[in-house]
Structure 1
């Protein structure tokens, strides 16, 4: 290559840099780092379906907050108790929330908040778990709460728990609109004391007033094109 040719190429590259021209991947969406000026807009719930032994008989009135950051799922009569047959010592419910949101966005369920009531005699351990994954099977996060009464009974009380997913969990696929599947489970381990009585339920009790349990999934949105 002659000196004149080299000089010409240097001048061309300098001009491209000054004009802000740069190479990008030709195929597939890419995530932008840093602030963006694109507005998410409204997120809607198209459809809700439920399945499982712990699900309500009627589809719950699932709602999404005005800021698109919280999906609220009400539960009632979702409980397990001992002593009882195996089917009554463990219950589960899968809720599918079919979301509709603008193209170019991706989301992650970064944390959950849920409430309930637990009462255990000595020798029992109760669990409540929540797992979510995107429609299509892509897993995301699972958390399990535990109430241990092996050595000391737990008097009846309400509880509120917030579970935070670890850093690095996967966002929904960029460039695709995906709904959210939520699997909740409750169970009691009574292997150490088969005769002990206990209950854990998705119900909030304030004195003699019972109210819906509200399972809240907190969403974090990101522009990904």
Structure 2
């Protein structure tokens, strides 16, 4: 016979490990999705058995994948959650899922505290992220890492009027064309011949724009910022 204790914890461990792997996708940028592992941890604590916990846990994992993977793949549009929405919107949706799936015999106090903690931690992380972004240069935002084969020289960037930008000069064979193709593959679309933007966000739009300026026959300067 199997060990009931091992069985009781195995599904929880598997779910948390899977959530960490999904939450850190694409494994090369800022792991915003790690904040979304908290609701899954709380659900694992609230659910009493695999029969009660596995199915809702898989729903939470699927939702986490939706919030993290499309943006990591470079997709854009109104159905692609932004990075900040992973921190606050996902916990709200997760709390609703957990409320529906909560065993009715579970103590009201412990269940309520778990759901409040789920949402509260999400808003706390969101506040920290937003404060950290004030007067801060944008992250890679899909512009970096640069296409292979190009040399990267990062400039000093610029801050002013409550916003900051970053700039890099990319050089190499056919650099201007390669960079445009790279940005297009990361969800950017042309707004003007020298300006490409991409939008994400289910509730609030997060728009990043990149401006391209020729810096030589095989070099291009890219400046990007968050609108």
Please confirm whether the aligned pair reaches a TM-score higher than 0.5, indicating the same fold.
no
Bin for the TM-score computed over the shorter chain: under 0.3
Larger Rg: 1
TM-score (norm 2): 0.27
Structure with the bigger percentage of strand: 1
Structure with the bigger percentage of helix: 2
TM-score (norm 1): 0.27
Q: Which has the higher contact order (CA 8 A, sep 6+)?
A: 1
